[in-house]
Chain A
Amino acid sequence: MGKYWKVITCIALVVFTTMLVIGCGSNTAKNASTEGKKSEKVNLTLWHYYDGALQQKTMEELAQKFNASQDKITVKMEYAPRAELLKQLTIGLVADKLPDIVILDNPDTPSFAAMGILADVTDKVNAPEIKKDAYYPGPLKSNLYNNKYYGVPLGSNDIALYYNEDMFKAAGITAPPQTWDELQVAAKKLSKDGVYGFAMCDLKNEEGTFQFLPWLISSGGNYDKLDSAESIKAFQFLTTLVNDGSLSKESINWTQADVEKQFATGKAAMMINGPWNVAPVKADAPNLKFSVVKIPKDKVWASCLGGENFSIIKGHHEAEAWEFVKFALSEGNLSAMLDLMGYIPSRKDLAESNQKLKNDPIMSVFVDEMQYAMPRGPHAKWPEYSEAIYTALQESLTSQKTPEQAARDAQVKAEKILKGN
């Protein structure tokens, strides 16, 4: 026994020391990058959470292009996973270790503005070169906090309905569903032998809320009136899909990436997902024939707005940071960048004039959905709102509460949040 312990202790020691060394290494590297060399050049750091290899490469190239275009400012890209980035930002506020520019998910922008991290860029956004009026209203509005702009949209996306053409053919369904009733019938018909007709993400976090909002809006409901008959109908409808066996109960534990896997492996005939998952589906299942249509509607068409905003950190190199943002937003750079990243330009003129998007039968649907895509909030307390919504959705889907009860409880929570408690 003694021998084993010695070996185990040795291994543990080695692992531990390596971790220590590695820990030190990255720390010193970070210090160097944020403080920078004491030259005349201004060094800026940008934090982003794009985890796709292509997306990261695109960001790197943007930085290189900008650094080469002038000789006063150097921008350095730093990647962190989304949860980590948000954590570092909030901790950084206390420890004063913040980047100069940050790319945030659109509902997070007002929250961080409320925390006082972000610089007010209202005057800069109103400058004619930004062409504020050319933007879709949703993305632009997501930067508002107390009627001031704390960021500019980088790119947008939304969600739509993917469907498996072969499965539709096999089940004898000729046209993709356009209304909730058609969706319910089709999903039931397609569900058999371990295949679910419909898949979406009902996860217990922002992703769940993101995927649920289109249903809420489509039935005429709204997130500030969760207990209205229309809002309840949305909870009710999705719960019916679960009870029909058309939507897997596991959807409450699926991320949007998991949903993509279900669809790509043929375990789901339809799914709700965004344009960023077109490439993964094609990579995972090269032979799968699929198409995309707008999310079926009840009363009105609806989708949910996703995408990121550029924000500048207050009190750092605000002017230099804005130079970079302006460079990134200039038409040529922006279009090229978003094309590569699978995003839709937040500017209507760029989105609609983009030939590549227009001629692509799939991407054009997502562009079309943009006009119905509603922003989440914008509200500084959106994350708390979101919690009320996804909790109610889970309560309803797991039949822990009736849809009415879940919706009513969520409304009570929402009112508390509004009262500032």
Chain B
Amino acid sequence: MQNYIDVFNNPTMMTSIWNTLLFTIGSISIQFVIGFALALFFNLDFTLAKPMRGLLVVAWMIPMTVIALLSKFMLSPSGGIINELLLNLHLIDQPIGWLINNSTALWGVILANSWVGIPFNMILLTTGLSNISKSLYEAAEVDGASSLQKFVYITLPQLRPAILSVVILGFIYTFKVFDLVFVATGGGPVNATELMSTFAYKLSFAQFLFSKGATVANVLFIILFIVSLGYLKLIRKDEVIH
């Protein structure tokens, strides 16, 4: 019990919980919106749709460590490709130190993490989309529905189970991300990108305070456990409907 009190009295704990939430919500929203858009896009039957979709999935297969290193180079203020691009487009006139400023570091890792998550979202949503029967759209067309109406009244409700699983699985995956942040920033600068997972690691294996590291890991576990329970419940509800 004393460990819990100690840990919660440590200002880094609060920062890490806050960062983890921000990281998770930020990553999921970006991943989901772009993933969904891509899924819809590739669902239009054009010639290269399938191979291109396949190519995009590659991002999801790359080990996190590699992605972390890549993003470290890409986001670097001295010659990083993202800064060069923005400079050449005249969107900025000074390179931004994405991973070295307190205010942007978390966004830097969120961007990197979203990039990995997009294909995952896309694939799951594509399977959902391909399960929607074509006859529904045909019927709607006969009734003179606009494409927006088709999207809101057919696509979204039909995709509900897929969207639910994507968001909750995404939450679980993102909430426990460790390697990406650990390699890209090590939780720095200062504590700007310290997540609960990196904080737990640091306590246990850099400072040898196992009991405190375990406490942080426990809190992480409890949060994930609650989310998973919620997920199971929602799924069960859906199954009853079907």
Contacts and interface: CB of A to CB of B under 8 A. Distances in A.
A111 interface: yes
B216 to A, nearest CB: 14
B102 A400 contact: yes
B211 interface: no
Interface string A78-92: 000001001100100
Given A1-B126, A1-B127, A384-B209, A394 B190 contact: yes
Contact of B205 (A83, A249, A384, A395): A83
Given A249-B101, A383-B208, 8 more contacts: A1-B127, A115-B208, A204-B185, A204-B188, A250-B78, A250-B97, A267-B78, A398-B101
A398 B189 contact: yes
Interface of B is mostly: loop
B205 A90 contact: yes
Given A86-B205, A90-B208, A248 B78 contact: yes
B16 interface: no
Given A83-B205, A90-B205, A249 B97 contact: yes
Contacts of B77: 249-250
Interface string A18-39: 0000000000000000000000
Contact of A394 (B6, B188, B207): B188
Interface residues of A, number: 28
Contacts of B204: 90
Sorted from nearest, which 10 A-B pairs have the closest CB atoms? Answer: A204-B188, A383-B207, A394-B190, A398-B189, A249-B100, A204-B186, A395-B190, A384-B207, A252-B189, A87-B205
Interface residue tally of chain B, by bracket? 20 to 34
Nearest to A385: B207
Contact of A383 (B50, B187, B206): B206
Given A250-B97, A252-B100, A394 B206 contact: no
A395 B50 CA distance: 49
Contacts of B189: 204, 252-253, 394, 398, 400
Nearest to A94: B210
Contacts of B185: 204, 253
7 contacts: A1-B126, A250-B78, A252-B100, A253-B100, A253-B188, A383-B207, A398-B190
